[in-house]
Amino acid sequence: MRETLGATSATTLLAGHRAAAEALPYQHVDDLFIGGHYRRAAVSDGVDEVVDPATGETWASVPKASAQDVDGAVAAARAAFPAWAATPPHERAERMRRWADALEQRTQPLSVTSTLENGSPVSETAGAAANAAGIIRYFAGLSTVLEQDDIRIAPLDPTQATTVRRDPVGVCALIAPWNFPINLVVIKLAPALIAGCTVVIKPASPTPLSIRFVLDAAVEAGIPDGVINLVTGDGQVGDQLVRHPDVDKVAFTGSTPVGRRIAAACGELLRPVTLELGGKSAALVLPDADLDHLRKVLIRSCMRNTGQTCYISTRLIVTPEHYDEVVEAVATTIGEAIQGDPLDPATVFGPSATRAQRDIVRGYIRSGIAEGARPVTGGDVAPVIDEGFFVTPTVFADVAPEMRIAREEIFGPVLSIIPARNIDDAVAIANATPFGLGGIVFGADEDRAFEVARRIDTGSIGVNFFASNHAAPFSGRHDSGLGVEYGIEGLHAYLSYQSVHRRVR
């Protein structure tokens, strides 16, 4: 059972967060990163306040970029593009490795800034710099692929040889979400840079500051001026970037509705786009599943980052052999997990990232109750902390597939346990969704679980766990997106190909 924080603890939380914010290098800033330097916004277009989700207090602010600022950032990226594209891939890779080293030196302030921006527990954000550095090093390692000759002989005419050239696509607009504001930028930024592209980054409005540590590390590593640029602001700034005439490619992570609008704009402009969007992934619990193992990986796989993770399996589909035991194991695991101060390393569940997101999640919980789902822990109850944007983690049992909580992405600490008649029924329920991003199959017989996993219509799926692999493609099917991130396939998304035909003498 969770214990309610007393008044003294709540006061301590508030004081601790204020002190943590005051110790950070970035708080109230009035500049953007354009052409390799921080410079004041060209036109005062207001500010975006940064609110601490654990306390509800404003602790920082950034400027809203104007159209003139967007023009300046894109122009800087365009000016830097020829020299960066002409830099040999192995030299780009060496600077990127130095960049990864410099980023790891910023682990602590980056972690605290991220936590104060979006409420993610420090147990989550503490690994952000290391994970981002790993992504950078992985893509730097693909420089050898770019330097290999690719010559192909025509199958019907052996006297014709074609050299396939891989050219960087150009200036890229990278638009990131608030739930993982570092890694979901870097999985776009690293392949773009090793390909020879230059970029303009637009972070989500609630999380505009932590990315500055990535930029500072890039400057220290010698990434040339103008290769990486940053503008901050709301969706209007993002739309200006998407539609800018000097942007050659767009990469976006966020909600499916926004992704559709970006896809429509890019389709009209015939502009390549990568979209990593929403999910409603399923975890199938087979009759032979090890429930002790399920408990160990449950939160990471199904409620990571207070449920604010696109690929997590928020639908647990369970066959009747041990349905009651699964419900008890899941409810106990979630009910015992600590919810509290996200700056406390022991905290598992922090607040929702924004006030609006908290209200959305609460609305889904009420919807589940109204439609007849049975809350076995949590529910429409007061959270342990009155301040901030906390929602009590909730597990629903006896969820029908047609309920809203089983169909729609909630993006909060809510799990739905859905009974299935048998494995075939469980597969059918898992596939009865417009999304296709992640998933898991739990089963002691891993070969059998693997075969069941192959029947799920999704871009990625795990057997007895879920974790992304930098070297393997990550992509969504259907309403979960377009294109690929990670792996060599993620690099290809930032390349343009030219075939040069010649005769073999």
**Alpha helices by DSSP H, 247-322:** 256-269, 291-302
> Nearest Cα to 309, choosing from 341, 342, 352?
352
pLDDT at 2 over 60: no
- The first and second tokens of residue 470, run together, are 């930098």
Average pLDDT over residues 57-81: 96
Active site members: 276, 310
Question: What is the predicted pLDDT for the residue at 383?
Answer: 85
Question: What is the predicted pLDDT for the residue at 6?
Answer: 46
Radius of gyration of the chain (CA): 24
Question: What is the predicted pLDDT for the residue at 42?
Answer: 79
- pLDDT tens-digit series, residues 349-406: 999 999 999 999 999 999 999 999 999 999 999 887 878 999 999 999 999 999 999 9
- pLDDT tens-digit series, residues 271-313: 999 999 999 999 999 999 999 999 999 999 999 999 999 999 9
- pLDDT tens-digit series, residues 246-269: 999 999 999 999 999 999 999 999
- pLDDT tens-digit series, residues 218-238: 999 999 999 999 999 999 999
Give the integer Cα–Cα distance in Å for 154 and 161: 6
Average pLDDT over residues 435-449: 97
Sign of torsion over alpha carbons 353, 416, 252, 259: negative
The proportion of the chain whose per-residue pLDDT surpasses 70, expressed as a percent, equals 98
- The first and second tokens of residue 268, run together, are 């009209």
pLDDT at 5 over 80: no
Question: What is the predicted pLDDT for the residue at 420?
Answer: 98
pLDDT band of residue 8 (cuts 50, 70, 90) is: low
Task: Tell me how many helices (H) and strands (E) the chain has.
Answer: 18, 22
Instruction: Tell me the pTM.
Output: 0.94
pLDDT at 426 over 50: yes
CA distances from 200 to 77, 78, 269 (A): 7, 10, 18
**Are 401 and 372 within 8 A, CB to CB?**
no
Backbone angles phi, psi at 419, to 5 degrees: -75, 140
- The first and second tokens of residue 209, run together, are 């500051």
**Are 415 and 395 within 8 A, CB to CB?**
yes
